[in-house]
Chains A and B, each alone.
Chain A
Amino acid sequence: MIRAVIVMNDQGKPRLLKFYHYQPVEKQHEIIRTIYGVLCSRADNVSNFVNAESIFGPDARLVYKTFATLYFVFVFDASENELAILDLMQVFVETLDKCFSNVCELDIVFNFNKVHTILDEIIVGGQVLETSSSEVVKAVDEISRLEKASNSIMRVPKSISAWQGR
């Protein structure tokens, strides 16, 4: 299974963090720092695979790829195919590209919860849900549409909170 999806910029600032095994905040940041340290020191002409056993325990592998100013990092265990994860990363980035039309770091910063929604349509609980970017875009568009529709209704402030009735 996939253990974590991390997007960070070339300064080591996290832009998207998703751990499929719970990690406390402090631990998450320690992990990011370690990974950033590893990625920074890697040359250009090397493979995209890093042995992550020291960070995530036995069997953990890490695949990373650089897109403009961003590092995309997937951490996973032996039950995933390294090369396929590389393709999955491609699917993820393609989807982002389609949703934000030419995605850049700022899009991800300001729309991080949309990015989360996109990721949730690709991976659930560390398992691959969907591999076709057009399918994902379709689902995400549907969610945005729903969101907007209910937002317009919600402009009117509610005086009674519905949840209290439950």
Chain B
Amino acid sequence: MESDLSSQDKKDLDKFIKFFALKTVQVIVQARLGEKICTRSSSSPTGADWFNLAIKDIPEVTHEAKKALAGQLPGIGRSMCVEISLKTSEGDSMELETWCLEMNEKCDKDIKVSYTVYNRLSLLLKSLLAITRVTPAYKLSRRQGHDYVILYRIYFGEVQLAGLGEGFQTVRVGVVGTPIGTITLSCAYRTNLAFMSTRQFERTAPIMGIIIDHFVERPFANMGHMHPCNYRTAGEDDGVTFAGVEDSQEVCTTSFSTSPPSQCVFTVSKTHFKSHKAAVMDGHRVPVMGSACSHQLYSSRISYQPPALGATELCYPAVFNAAHPHQLLVPGKEGGVPQMPLQPCHGAQAEHSRVPSCPPVDPTHHNPTTPSSGSEDTETLSRSSEGKSASPSDALETTFTRKVGAFVNKPATQVTMASLELPFAAFAPKAFDLEENDPMVHPPESPATASPLQGSLHSQDSSDSSGQAQDDFVMVDFKPAFSKDDLLPMDLGTFYREFQNPPQLASLSIDVSAQSMAEDLDSLPEKLALYEKNIDEFDAFVDTLQ
């Protein structure tokens, strides 16, 4: 049968199919990156663009695809599949769609390989471009970032559609007949998204009805691995070395955008650092957006470094220090309110000697008693921090209340410390240690407002329990911007805890009330006499009111 096909044609056809498969994967994965794709037309042929289409090649994707193919080509019974799935920040995952490149036995002998098949493959790629924007997963992928991410997986062999749930739909992108079989490209997509937790998604029967959290920003897609507008030489291996791929389930798009700063609380977990310089880019793919804005937002992400640094090297972030980790009140300012030891900021207590090495604390927030209390509790906290350092990633991953992006499998970056003077000072263009001054990350203290979340996330008990009991918690430190107060230099959490149970009002206390009634009655005649004496004053007052 294949004798009809010249060897040159056969070689060409194999090459076409191979590169078609690779380009198909690129198109699908790029369509799920979460951002708009734009490539330029070029009238002068470079000879490097397969199928005369400007489709960039992301090296990892190519690598993954080649790995999956392992030198084989899609053929009869050997399909290449790209599975797109969604993974929430809580770790739930769900398959959304599976794109299948299959071949069946129906041959078209008369077709010209080098011309017709090539052009039809090109047409099929264009159709793929169009269809990838139409399936439901596209909208989901455009909104990924905070609550969930989109992942892809390439496999070769039998098509597995079981993970798509019941009632999945299929859309056929197209077919191209070749002398050795007919290539079909199709997509099976899930319609039943009911597994989504209601916390994040509304359950509706039609797939389009999924409402993602409204405050999810358009993420910045990961462009770090995308080729700048250079095209691969056709037929060559990319030869690009890049970070190795550990497992086949790769993060397809990494929208490392921060949650919008206006969102509630920021959680900061253990703040181990080697230095307090923010290593924001550690391990993260930088969104190559190029705008100052993106840098700003990016750098305000908080996360933590793996605790490989030794628990003793804890540097207390000045921001949470916010003057006193331990004292709630500056003595004498509130007069009469007892000083209580503050729940230490979760996970990190500066050895006092380290505090000066942090960015200068706001001088107005100093607490003269901090040193003494610092030393008392340092030990407790170091112990508790050490205890926690054993399994930081697990504990912290599960309790990220801040939507720091769901790629918490590889936590990275660093918390910075700073004390903030000016709200929104960070929004002026600055370098990367912006995070330290970012008011959204570390807003100034606000004794005036109490965040209800503070209470819920912290036990109000003694500092002892805070260490162990809060293994699963991350500290919530809410500091609304523009709410700076020099008079009461304590952080909000401590303030809230302190004043949650105020002492009873004197007039309401029971001892007094028994007598008061009798006294009141007795004093009535005297009071009446007094009022009658002053009746003119009262009348004048009433006149002013009218």
Q: Is B a genuine binding partner of A? A: no
B residues at A contact (CB < 8 Å): none
A residues at B contact (CB < 8 Å): none
